[in-house]
Amino acid sequence: MKSPLIISSPASRREFIRNAGFFALLAATPGLFAEELVRTPAQTEGPFYPDKLPLDTDNDLLAINDGITPAVGEVTLVSGRILDQKGEPVRNALVEIWQCDAAGAYLHSGTTNKEKRDKNFQGFGRFLTGSSGEYLFRTIKPVPYPGRTPHIHYMVKMKGHEKFTTQCYIEGHEGNAKDGIWKSLDEKGRKAVTVPFAPMKNSRIGELAARFDIVLGFTPQV
Protein backbone atom coordinates (compact mmCIF):
# COMPACT_ATOMS: atom_id res chain seq x y z
CA MET A 1 0.00 0.00 0.00
CA LYS A 2 1.29 3.41 -0.90
CA SER A 3 1.57 5.80 2.05
CA PRO A 4 -0.19 9.13 1.66
CA LEU A 5 2.17 12.06 1.43
CA ILE A 6 1.05 14.77 3.73
CA ILE A 7 2.33 18.27 3.31
CA SER A 8 2.27 20.60 6.27
CA SER A 9 1.78 24.32 5.86
CA PRO A 10 3.73 27.10 7.56
CA ALA A 11 0.52 27.83 9.46
CA SER A 12 0.50 24.37 10.96
CA ARG A 13 4.13 24.80 11.92
CA ARG A 14 3.33 27.95 13.86
CA GLU A 15 0.47 26.13 15.47
CA PHE A 16 2.82 23.35 16.49
CA ILE A 17 5.29 25.69 18.09
CA ARG A 18 2.55 27.50 19.96
CA ASN A 19 0.83 24.35 21.06
CA ALA A 20 1.62 24.74 24.73
CA GLY A 21 -1.12 22.33 25.68
CA PHE A 22 0.62 19.37 24.09
CA PHE A 23 2.77 18.49 27.07
CA ALA A 24 -0.21 18.73 29.39
CA LEU A 25 -1.89 16.11 27.24
CA LEU A 26 1.16 13.89 27.39
CA ALA A 27 1.34 14.23 31.15
CA ALA A 28 -2.02 12.46 31.32
CA THR A 29 -0.48 9.34 29.76
CA PRO A 30 -0.38 6.67 32.45
CA GLY A 31 3.15 5.95 33.58
CA LEU A 32 4.75 2.68 34.48
CA PHE A 33 5.68 1.58 37.95
CA ALA A 34 9.37 2.00 38.59
CA GLU A 35 9.94 -1.72 39.00
CA GLU A 36 8.55 -2.32 35.52
CA LEU A 37 11.04 -0.10 33.75
CA VAL A 38 13.21 -1.87 31.23
CA ARG A 39 16.49 -0.22 30.40
CA THR A 40 16.50 0.93 26.78
CA PRO A 41 19.08 -1.11 24.87
CA ALA A 42 21.92 0.77 23.24
CA GLN A 43 22.12 0.43 19.47
CA THR A 44 24.84 1.36 17.04
CA GLU A 45 25.22 5.01 16.08
CA GLY A 46 25.64 3.90 12.48
CA PRO A 47 27.57 5.79 9.81
CA PHE A 48 25.15 8.65 9.12
CA TYR A 49 25.20 11.03 12.08
CA PRO A 50 25.41 14.34 10.14
CA ASP A 51 28.99 15.14 9.16
CA LYS A 52 27.87 18.74 8.78
CA LEU A 53 25.03 19.93 10.99
CA PRO A 54 22.06 21.66 9.30
CA LEU A 55 21.64 25.44 9.59
CA ASP A 56 18.67 24.79 11.81
CA THR A 57 18.84 22.20 14.59
CA ASP A 58 15.51 22.79 16.34
CA ASN A 59 12.90 20.13 17.09
CA ASP A 60 10.83 20.73 13.95
CA LEU A 61 12.48 18.67 11.22
CA LEU A 62 9.81 19.52 8.66
CA ALA A 63 11.03 23.05 8.04
CA ILE A 64 14.47 24.59 7.92
CA ASN A 65 14.53 28.02 9.53
CA ASP A 66 11.68 29.99 7.92
CA GLY A 67 11.55 27.86 4.77
CA ILE A 68 8.04 27.75 3.37
CA THR A 69 8.32 24.49 1.44
CA PRO A 70 7.76 21.65 3.88
CA ALA A 71 9.50 18.30 3.86
CA VAL A 72 7.88 15.37 2.06
CA GLY A 73 6.59 12.56 4.25
CA GLU A 74 3.97 11.51 6.75
CA VAL A 75 3.96 14.11 9.50
CA THR A 76 4.68 12.52 12.87
CA LEU A 77 5.03 13.92 16.36
CA VAL A 78 7.61 11.86 18.18
CA SER A 79 7.77 12.41 21.90
CA GLY A 80 8.72 10.68 25.11
CA ARG A 81 10.58 11.00 28.36
CA ILE A 82 14.18 10.51 29.33
CA LEU A 83 14.13 8.51 32.55
CA ASP A 84 16.65 7.05 34.94
CA GLN A 85 16.46 3.45 36.13
CA LYS A 86 14.10 4.39 38.95
CA GLY A 87 11.72 6.04 36.52
CA GLU A 88 12.63 9.58 37.55
CA PRO A 89 12.69 12.15 34.73
CA VAL A 90 16.13 13.27 33.61
CA ARG A 91 16.50 17.00 33.03
CA ASN A 92 19.18 18.73 30.95
CA ALA A 93 19.51 15.73 28.68
CA LEU A 94 20.26 16.80 25.11
CA VAL A 95 18.20 14.51 22.89
CA GLU A 96 19.31 14.37 19.26
CA ILE A 97 17.55 12.49 16.49
CA TRP A 98 18.49 11.92 12.88
CA GLN A 99 16.88 9.92 10.11
CA CYS A 100 16.76 9.65 6.35
CA ASP A 101 14.26 11.61 4.29
CA ALA A 102 11.37 10.18 2.25
CA ALA A 103 13.86 9.29 -0.52
CA GLY A 104 16.10 7.32 1.87
CA ALA A 105 18.83 9.98 1.93
CA TYR A 106 20.61 11.09 5.10
CA LEU A 107 22.07 14.49 5.83
CA HIS A 108 25.54 13.07 5.29
CA SER A 109 28.07 13.37 2.49
CA GLY A 110 28.29 9.57 2.25
CA THR A 111 24.56 8.93 1.94
CA THR A 112 22.98 6.96 -0.85
CA ASN A 113 20.42 8.83 -2.99
CA LYS A 114 22.33 12.06 -2.39
CA GLU A 115 21.01 13.63 -5.59
CA LYS A 116 17.42 12.90 -4.53
CA ARG A 117 17.78 14.35 -1.04
CA ASP A 118 14.84 16.44 0.14
CA LYS A 119 16.39 19.87 0.68
CA ASN A 120 13.47 20.84 2.89
CA PHE A 121 13.92 18.04 5.39
CA GLN A 122 16.11 19.01 8.32
CA GLY A 123 17.20 15.40 8.86
CA PHE A 124 18.47 16.13 12.39
CA GLY A 125 17.07 17.86 15.46
CA ARG A 126 17.79 18.60 19.10
CA PHE A 127 15.74 18.99 22.24
CA LEU A 128 16.99 19.79 25.75
CA THR A 129 14.79 18.22 28.42
CA GLY A 130 13.33 20.20 31.31
CA SER A 131 12.23 18.92 34.71
CA SER A 132 9.59 16.61 33.20
CA GLY A 133 12.22 14.78 31.15
CA GLU A 134 9.92 15.20 28.13
CA TYR A 135 11.16 15.72 24.61
CA LEU A 136 9.21 16.40 21.42
CA PHE A 137 10.03 16.42 17.72
CA ARG A 138 7.97 17.00 14.62
CA THR A 139 9.33 14.89 11.82
CA ILE A 140 8.29 12.32 9.20
CA LYS A 141 7.43 8.69 9.73
CA PRO A 142 10.68 6.85 9.01
CA VAL A 143 10.92 4.93 5.76
CA PRO A 144 12.97 1.87 4.84
CA TYR A 145 16.18 2.09 2.83
CA PRO A 146 18.18 -0.79 1.36
CA GLY A 147 19.29 -3.09 4.15
CA ARG A 148 17.35 -1.39 6.94
CA THR A 149 13.85 -1.37 8.34
CA PRO A 150 12.49 2.12 9.14
CA HIS A 151 14.09 3.67 12.23
CA ILE A 152 14.93 6.96 13.90
CA HIS A 153 18.41 7.30 15.37
CA TYR A 154 18.73 8.76 18.87
CA MET A 155 21.66 10.14 20.78
CA VAL A 156 21.30 11.37 24.37
CA LYS A 157 24.05 13.57 25.76
CA MET A 158 24.45 14.59 29.39
CA LYS A 159 27.21 16.27 31.32
CA GLY A 160 29.38 13.72 33.06
CA HIS A 161 28.02 10.72 31.15
CA GLU A 162 28.97 8.84 28.05
CA LYS A 163 26.70 9.59 25.10
CA PHE A 164 23.96 7.02 24.65
CA THR A 165 22.80 5.91 21.21
CA THR A 166 19.82 3.82 20.22
CA GLN A 167 17.22 3.50 17.46
CA CYS A 168 13.42 3.63 17.49
CA TYR A 169 11.34 1.33 15.27
CA ILE A 170 7.75 1.12 14.01
CA GLU A 171 5.62 -1.50 15.73
CA GLY A 172 4.16 -4.00 13.27
CA HIS A 173 6.46 -3.06 10.38
CA GLU A 174 7.17 -6.08 8.18
CA GLY A 175 10.80 -5.05 7.72
CA ASN A 176 11.70 -5.41 11.41
CA ALA A 177 12.00 -9.19 11.34
CA LYS A 178 14.52 -8.94 8.44
CA ASP A 179 16.64 -6.22 10.01
CA GLY A 180 19.92 -7.44 11.49
CA ILE A 181 20.26 -4.58 13.99
CA TRP A 182 16.69 -4.97 15.27
CA LYS A 183 17.08 -8.76 15.39
CA SER A 184 20.25 -8.47 17.44
CA LEU A 185 18.05 -7.54 20.42
CA ASP A 186 16.27 -10.01 22.65
CA GLU A 187 12.50 -9.87 22.93
CA LYS A 188 12.52 -7.46 25.85
CA GLY A 189 14.92 -5.17 24.03
CA ARG A 190 12.88 -5.22 20.83
CA LYS A 191 9.78 -4.27 22.78
CA ALA A 192 11.63 -1.38 24.41
CA VAL A 193 12.61 0.23 21.08
CA THR A 194 9.56 -0.62 18.92
CA VAL A 195 6.55 1.64 19.30
CA PRO A 196 3.22 2.33 17.55
CA PHE A 197 3.07 5.16 15.01
CA ALA A 198 -0.65 5.84 15.26
CA PRO A 199 -2.95 8.54 13.86
CA MET A 200 -3.50 11.36 16.35
CA LYS A 201 -7.01 11.81 17.56
CA ASN A 202 -8.67 15.05 16.45
CA SER A 203 -5.87 15.93 14.03
CA ARG A 204 -7.09 17.93 11.08
CA ILE A 205 -4.17 17.05 8.86
CA GLY A 206 -3.86 13.38 9.77
CA GLU A 207 -0.63 13.52 11.73
CA LEU A 208 0.77 10.44 13.39
CA ALA A 209 2.09 10.27 16.92
CA ALA A 210 4.70 8.00 18.47
CA ARG A 211 5.79 7.77 22.11
CA PHE A 212 9.29 6.54 22.82
CA ASP A 213 10.59 6.70 26.39
CA ILE A 214 14.29 6.18 26.92
CA VAL A 215 15.34 4.57 30.19
CA LEU A 216 18.98 5.20 30.89
CA GLY A 217 21.12 2.79 32.81
CA PHE A 218 22.09 5.06 35.66
CA THR A 219 20.64 6.86 38.64
CA PRO A 220 21.76 10.49 38.80
CA GLN A 221 23.60 11.62 41.95
CA VAL A 222 21.40 13.71 44.22
Q: Where does this chain bind Fe ion (CB under 5 A)?
A: 46
Burial annotation 18-51 (CB, 10 A radius, 16+ → b, else e): eeeeeeeebeeeeeeeeeebebbbbbeeeebbbe
Question: At residue 36, what are phi and psi to the nearest 5 degrees?
Answer: -90, -10
Minimal distance in Å, beta carbon 43 to Fe ion? 10
The least CB distance from residue 115 to Fe ion, in Å, is 19
In the chain, DSSP assigns E strands to: 75-83, 94-98, 124-128, 134-140, 151-157, 164-170, 194-195, 198-199, 208-211, 214-215
Between 46 and 144, CB nearer to Fe ion: 46
Instruction: Closer to Fe ion by CB, 46 or 67: give it.
Output: 46
Q: State the minimum distance, in angstroms, from the CB of residue 151 to Fe ion.
A: 6
**How many CB atoms are closer than 10 A to CB 126?**
17
Query: Minimum Å distance from CB 154 to Fe ion?
Result: 11
For the bound state, the minimum distance from the C-beta of residue 38 to Fe ion, rounded and expressed in Å, comes to: 23
Do residues 51 and 98 make contact, with C-beta atoms less than 8 angstroms apart? no
In the bound state with Fe ion, the residue whose beta carbon lies nearer, of 46 and 89, is 46
Query: Which is closer to Fe ion, CB of 86 or CB of 116?
Result: 116
Toward Fe ion, which CB reaches closer, 48 or 127? 48
**Residue with nearest beta carbon to Fe ion:** 46
